[in-house]
Amino acid sequence: MLPKIVVYKAVPPDVLDYLREHARIVVVEPAPGQSQASLSGALGEALVDAEGAIGASIKVTPAMVARARRLKAISTISVGTDNFDLDDLTRRGIVLAHTPDVLTESTADTVFALVLSTARRVVDLAQWVKDGQWHGSIGPAQYGVDVHGKTIGIVGLGRIGGALAKRAALGFDMRVLYANRHPNEAAERAYGARRVELGELLAQSDFVCLQTPLTPQTRHLIGAAELRAMKRSAILINASRGAIVDEAALIAALADGTIAGAGLDVFEHEPLAADSSLLAMRNVVALPHVGSATHETRHAMARCAAENLIAALAGTLSRNIANPEVLAR
């Protein structure tokens, strides 16, 4: 009999057809007005007798997994794994697959779009024009700042950070600093990137870009003290995970001019509340977590995740495994 898998995020029809060729499919999708708690409960029930699961954007807890005694593999349609307890999955012998490569370039595009749009005030000034405020020649009140030739500091120089360094160094002649647990010698050779401690990166960078995964060690990595360490003219860019930044501290820093602005694709709580102070700030560009959101990339992510899952259930998956220690069991 074909294995049962739970699909808990909408995937393209051809990807769903691929999954149906290899497994029995149960789709868990939100009903109109359904709460996140109710959706999580439905997913937990569907997992009870499932061997696999594929999806994103819902936290899969150890309690849910404990009831799923036949579960062998989960495939997340994302690079991030913060919706899972990796240690618990590994203890239970469950493979967690993810999609670390296919979204690299489109996410780096989004990050650099935030750099450009905050520096040149693209969103603010576009709205100014739409509001009918353009009555003559512009002046200093509408000026932005240059990007070319400035210093970019990248916290986390992995795949996406490396792609960002490429755009900055080769496209905009920027000086690249990075903070990372390990040296990235390829980026140092190709882009002149220099590895420094976080404090030095914050003090020297005109743009601080966060590209590190969310872990207990990186939660609120950027707080009030780190924001004070930045230049008053600096701009913070976060397209990794919202909780890496202490959002209350960021709001305070933006309000009092501790830093000049922020470009944000992620937030501590998503969707961002309509009454968030961030939305009233003209020096903030806020996006709805669209880092990899292009038609091409999202399709490639779904296909990659589907192939990951089927290979994991067959015992043949050898890449894109977030907890490779499980293979040693």
Q: At residue 81, does pLDDT exceed 80?
A: yes
- Is 237 found in the same domain as 108? yes
- Is 219 found in the same domain as 154? yes
| Confidence band of 328 (pLDDT split at 50, 70, 90) | confident
pLDDT cut 70: percent of the chain above it: 100
Domain boundary at 253, 268, 286, which?
Answer: 286
Number of domains in the chain: 2
Q: Identify the active-site residue in 29, 197, 270, 296.
A: 270
Helix (H) or strand (E) holding 152: strand 151-155
Domain that holds residue 216: 104-286
Is 22 marked active-site? no
Q: Identify the active-site residue in 51, 241, 303, 307.
A: 241
Contact 114, 265 (CB under 8 A): yes
Q: At residue 36, does pLDDT exceed 90?
A: no
Could you tell me the pTM of the whole model? 0.92
Q: At residue 329, does pLDDT exceed 80?
A: no
Contact 162, 188 (CB under 8 A): no
- Is 119 found in the same domain as 37? no
Phi-psi region of 7 (alpha: psi -120 to 50; beta: other; left: phi over 0): beta
The pLDDT, as a whole number, for residue 113 is: 98
- Is 315 found in the same domain as 251? no
The pLDDT, as a whole number, for residue 37 is: 83
> Which position has the token pair 């996406």?
160
- Is 273 found in the same domain as 127? yes
- Is 145 found in the same domain as 93? no
Span 5-28, average pLDDT: 97
Which CATH number fits the domain that encloses residue 20?
3.40.50.720
- Measure the CA–CA gap between 244 and 223, rounded to whole angstroms: 9
- Is 244 found in the same domain as 173? yes
Is 241 marked active-site? yes
67-74 contacts: CB < 8 A, separation 24 or more? 71/47, 72/3, 72/312, 72/313, 73/97, 73/309, 73/312, 73/313, 73/317, 74/309
Is 188 marked active-site? no
Q: Identify the active-site residue in 51, 289, 303, 307.
A: 289
- Is 118 found in the same domain as 267? yes
- Is 110 found in the same domain as 78? no
Both structure tokens of 294: 């292009």
- 86-104 pLDDT, tens digit per residue, is 999 999 999 999 999 999 9
- What secondary structure, in 3-state letters, does 212-246 show? CCCCCCCCCCECHHHHHHCCCCCEEEECCCHHHEC
- Is 203 found in the same domain as 62? no
- 148-196 pLDDT, tens digit per residue, is 999 999 999 999 999 999 999 999 999 999 999 999 999 999 999 999 9
| Confidence band of 131 (pLDDT split at 50, 70, 90) | very high
- Is 213 found in the same domain as 234? yes
- Is 130 found in the same domain as 58? no
Q: At residue 219, does pLDDT exceed 90?
A: yes
The pLDDT, as a whole number, for residue 30 is: 79
The pLDDT, as a whole number, for residue 265 is: 98
